[in-house]
């Protein structure tokens, strides 16, 4: 009953938010003013059409979550031609599954929101029809990418989006699912084949070249730990070779459950495939995921914009072995070139998974067949991005909340401490806050907090009647009004 009520409430909220988002994105075409302040840039070639548009490539992309318990089992991934894995905020990763229009299964999901990383990846595949939920169209970097994208973006599960629905009994926010049979262009000859999707990604199926085969090393597993910025909590993804299944099993925070339709039957399984590519790169800060929310519910969770243009190193994992590879890509619209160290093109088997791994936000290790474990990974020569975990300008425009604690220091003095949990998981002292203190029989005194977040009042605690923090800005950060009364 609780999940049902949550789902209903979530549906109503998202119907409103989703409609506002789509209206905002499409508004310029109808001469409307967008109700969503976030979408302030009028897209030049952006489309939200439910129907086939001129030049559509026949590729459908769906953003699917990972790690969190409520998201599983993941549905419809096995039918994808190719899956990208990239980090989002809090150290989690998400999947970007690519299908030919005719190959999208009856149900795919849950469907989650896009990130800046996705657009340069998608640009390899022409004009893609993209399905996502609508929670991330706020950051300036995202809007800049949207302003020049050519893709067809279908956002949210509301009454106006015929291809998506809210699953009964879902755990919010994992409620949006794509109805593959409703995707525009099915059965019209539009659909791109799996082989051509791989070609656009710079890949093709085939055996590992004979000259390279001897360089492969047998391994048991590989672990990639993405850092939870701006903190250091480890969020793992593990890739384990199953000799019995001849597949790599992919676990995200130890979770891997899937459900797919096979031969008309629903079949339980695991996230897995015959080929994995580890593409080492770097990331920069795209903005704060939850701009004006306090921790731990939100806060300055830096959204990594992981690069897929430039050049670097990586690994090919197939047939239980690991091979050194390089990658290069000249522009967002160019195909990525994956090569072995001898210059031969990388060959894959089955459904490839490409893990975009920014080395400035992660650590990697390989456990070899003999049991030895080695840390691996190297930074690419380009691009030379840096990643900042400092509070962003838009974050500083929020009014940070504070807490006031009054305690007895001595018979004649009182300590007042001001703390905040705006940018931290715990309450921390705030330096430089002006506190107006009301002392019974003496009136008011205004004091400024020390580095410890404290002020000392020359009066007994019995005499301190009230303490007030007016709205003020300290070191560029705004702080909200707060009052304590006896």
Domains along the chain? 2-376 (3.50.90.10), 398-485 (2.60.40)
pLDDT digits (tens, 9 = 90+) for 279-325: 999 888 777 777 777 766 666 677 888 989 999 999 999 999 999 99
pLDDT digits (tens, 9 = 90+) for 268-281: 999 999 999 999 99
Phi-psi region of 117 (alpha: psi -120 to 50; beta: other; left: phi over 0): alpha
Region 247-259 average pLDDT: 96
pLDDT for the residue numbered 407: 95
pLDDT digits (tens, 9 = 90+) for 88-114: 888 899 999 999 999 999 999 999 999
Asked if residue 360 has pLDDT above 60, the reply is: yes
Q: Which of 385-389, 398-402, 434-438 has the lowest mean pLDDT?
A: 385-389
Work out the pLDDT band at 47, boundaries 50, 70, 90.
confident
Q: Which residue carries 């999901």 as its tokens?
A: 109
Asked if residue 156 has pLDDT above 80, the reply is: no
The pTM of the full predicted model, rounded to 2 decimals, is 0.79
Q: Which residues contact 223 (CB under 8 A, 6 or more apart)?
A: 236, 237, 238, 239, 364, 365, 367
pLDDT for the residue numbered 299: 65
Q: Are residues 284 and 327 in contact, defined by beta-carbon separation less than 8 angstroms?
A: no
> Could you give the CA distance from residue 307 to residue 282 in angstroms, rounded to a whole number?
6
Asked if residue 377 has pLDDT above 90, the reply is: no
Spatial CA neighbour of 7 closest among 110, 80, 132: 110
pLDDT digits (tens, 9 = 90+) for 7-25: 444 444 444 334 333 333 3
Strand, coil or helix: 387: coil
pLDDT for the residue numbered 7: 43
Q: Which residues contact 405 (CB under 8 A, 6 or more apart)?
A: 416, 417, 419
Spatial CA neighbour of 111 closest among 41, 176, 47: 176
> Could you give the CA distance from residue 231 to residue 227 in angstroms, rounded to a whole number?
7
pLDDT for the residue numbered 26: 35
What is the residue-wise DSSP string for 242-307? ETTTTEEEEEETTB-EEEEEETTEEEEEESEESEEEEEEE-EEEEEEEETT--TTTSEEEEEEEE-
pLDDT for the residue numbered 353: 98
Q: Determine the straight-line distance between the first and last CA of the chain, rounded to whole angstroms.
A: 42
pLDDT for the residue numbered 293: 74
Asked if residue 389 has pLDDT above 50, the reply is: no
DSSP bridge partners of 408: 414
pLDDT digits (tens, 9 = 90+) for 62-86: 999 999 999 999 999 999 999 999 9
- 77-88 in b/e form (b: 16+ CB < 10 A) is bbbbbbbbbbbb
The 8-class DSSP code of residue 208 comes to: P
Out of 26-35, 117-126, 127-136, 147-156, the most confident range is 117-126
């Amino acid at each position: 009953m609780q999940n049902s009520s949550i789902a209903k409430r979530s549906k109503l909220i998202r119907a409103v938010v989703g409609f506002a988002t789509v209206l905002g994105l499409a508004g310029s075409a109808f001469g409307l003013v967008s109700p969503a302040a976030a979408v302030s840039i009028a897209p030049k070639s952006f489309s939200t059409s439910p129907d086939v548009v001129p030049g559509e490539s026949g590729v459908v992309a769906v953003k699917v979550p990972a790690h969190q318990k409520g998201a599983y089992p993941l549905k419809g991934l096995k039918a994808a031609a190719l899956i990208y894995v990239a980090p989002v905020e809090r150290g989690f990763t998400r999947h970007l599954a690519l299908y030919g229009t005719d190959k999208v299964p009856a149900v795919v999901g849950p469907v989650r929101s896009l990130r800046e990383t996705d657009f340069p990846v998608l640009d390899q595949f022409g004009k893609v029809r993209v399905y996502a939920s609508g929670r991330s169209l706020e950051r300036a970097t995202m809007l800049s990418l949207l302003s020049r994208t050519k893709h067809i973006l279908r956002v949210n599960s509301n009454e106006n989006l015929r291809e998506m629905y809210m699953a009964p009994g879902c755990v919010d926010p994992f409620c949006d699912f794509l109805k593959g049979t409703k995707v525009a262009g099915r059965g019209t000859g539009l659909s791109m084949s799996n082989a051509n999707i791989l070609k656009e990604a710079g890949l093709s199926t085939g055996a590992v070249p004979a000259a390279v085969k001897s360089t492969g090393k047998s391994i048991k597993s590989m672990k990639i730990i993405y850092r939870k910025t701006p903190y250091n909590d480890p969020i793992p993804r593990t890739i384990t070779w199953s000799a019995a299944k001849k597949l790599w099993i992919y676990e995200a925070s130890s979770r891997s459950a899937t459900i797919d339709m096979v031969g008309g039957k629903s079949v339980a399984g695991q996230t897995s495939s015959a080929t994995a590519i580890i593409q080492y790169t770097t990331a920069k800060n795209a903005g704060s995921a939850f701009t004006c929310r306090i921790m731990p519910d939100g806060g300055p969770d830096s959204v990594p914009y992981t690069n897929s243009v430039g050049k670097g190193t990586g690994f090919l994992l197939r047939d239980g072995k690991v091979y050194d590879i390089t990658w290069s890509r000249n522009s967002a619209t160019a195909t990525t070139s994956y090569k072995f160290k001898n210059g031969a093109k990388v060959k894959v088997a089955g459904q490839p998974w490409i893990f975009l791994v920014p080395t400035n936000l992660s650590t990697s290790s390989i456990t070899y067949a003999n049991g030895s474990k080695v840390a691996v990974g190297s930074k690419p020569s380009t691009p030379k991005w840096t990643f900042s975990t400092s509070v962003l300008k838009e974050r500083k425009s929020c009014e940070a909340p504070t807490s006031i604690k009054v305690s007895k220091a001595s018979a004649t003095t009182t300590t007042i401490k001001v703390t905040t949990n705006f940018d931290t998981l715990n309450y921390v002292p705030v330096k430089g806050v002006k506190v107006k203190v009301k002392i019974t029989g003496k009136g008011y005194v205004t004091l400024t907090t020390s580095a410890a977040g404290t002020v000392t009042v020359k009066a007994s605690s019995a005499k301190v009647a009230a303490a007030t923090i007016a709205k003020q800005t300290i070191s560029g950060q705004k702080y909200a009004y707060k009052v304590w009364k006896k």
